[in-house]
Amino acid sequence: MPVNIPHNLPAVEILKKENIFVMDNLRAATQDIRPLKVALLNLMPVKIVTETDFVRLLSNSPLQVEVDLVKMQTHESKHTPPEHLATFYRNFEDIRKEYYDGMIITGAPVETLDFEDVTYWEELTGIMDWAARHVTSTLYICWGAQAGLYHFYGIDKYPLAKKKFGVFRHTLNHPGISLFRGFDGEFYVPHSRHTEIRREDILANPALSLLSESPEAGVYLVMSRGGREIFITGHSEYAPETLHNEYMRDLAKGLPIEMPANYYRDNDPAQGVCVRWRAHAHLMFKNWLNYYVYQATPFNPKEIERLEDISV
């Protein structure tokens, strides 16, 4: 089954052109199937791009997924049309009493700030605490992963000497877990960040499991509570041109930016992008939906609050 989203969301037409099967909510209403409910808390400024990236990955599953787009109420988005936000997004207060099978908390371009200096930090921590009781499994992405690790486990982030920018090789520390079913021993993931979390801090906390890392990019995937919280420092969801567009943008602004590593063919932008992360991204999200959301969520959503861990 495909992902179920509003019929007039811009992502629908974009993904149909990519030959990705999506089902709008008008057609889905005729099917007698309970879809998985997934909330996407979108912290990125250009929300249409980010929501399309994640809907693309959620679509590649035999499970029907109903996506609720959520935004921060204490932060005004200046890079997404107000009518788009009013039509497709809900505030946290609108969903506070609901339960979700899965949730995704995206990254945000605020990583150089102290967490407490982020204007919506108090609201975000309230949402993360709520997710721990109302969501079967939550994916925390990039800065979202740093925020979650800091809030729940006191894991600090550290500034990098230069931006970690490119597509990097990763390995598995625990290949037998369900999230990695079908994975090769090595796979590639895009990264784009100015800060990092350190493996020694993760390993020092018995509540955390370091499941995947990179010789170049460092910590990649950390799990807690048996998979009810999954922290991902990279951007598996990125479309092929995302790093290119970011590179061109920073060059035009005169910012100190190096060519994204392992990204262009023969390191030549004129030759185009060598896409080597999409298969891993689709497989990881498919495994997450199946083993950590669908297989683990209770029949009665209110029973989510009683889950101890997922144990798969």
> Among all residues, which ones are annotated catalytic?
142, 235, 237
Strands (E), the chain: 3-5, 22-24, 36-41, 65-71, 89-91, 100-105, 135-141, 158-172, 186-196, 208-214, 218-224, 229-232
Query: Is the distance from CB of 90 to CB of 68 less than 8 angstroms?
Result: yes
Answer positive or negative: Cα dihedral of 51, 145, 287, 289: negative
Q: Distance between CA atoms of 180 and 223, rounded to whole angstroms?
A: 12
Helix H or strand E encompassing 278: helix 278-287
Helix H or strand E encompassing 12: helix 10-17
Query: Is the distance from CB of 194 to CB of 109 less than 8 angstroms?
Result: no
Q: Distance between CA atoms of 85 and 69, rounded to whole angstroms?
A: 9
Q: Distance between CA atoms of 6 and 66, rounded to whole angstroms?
A: 9
Q: Distance between CA atoms of 96 and 104, rounded to whole angstroms?
A: 16
What is the rounded end-to-end Cα distance, in angstroms, of the chain? 23
Answer positive or negative: Cα dihedral of 10, 13, 15, 21: positive
Q: Distance between CA atoms of 62 and 297, rounded to whole angstroms?
A: 16
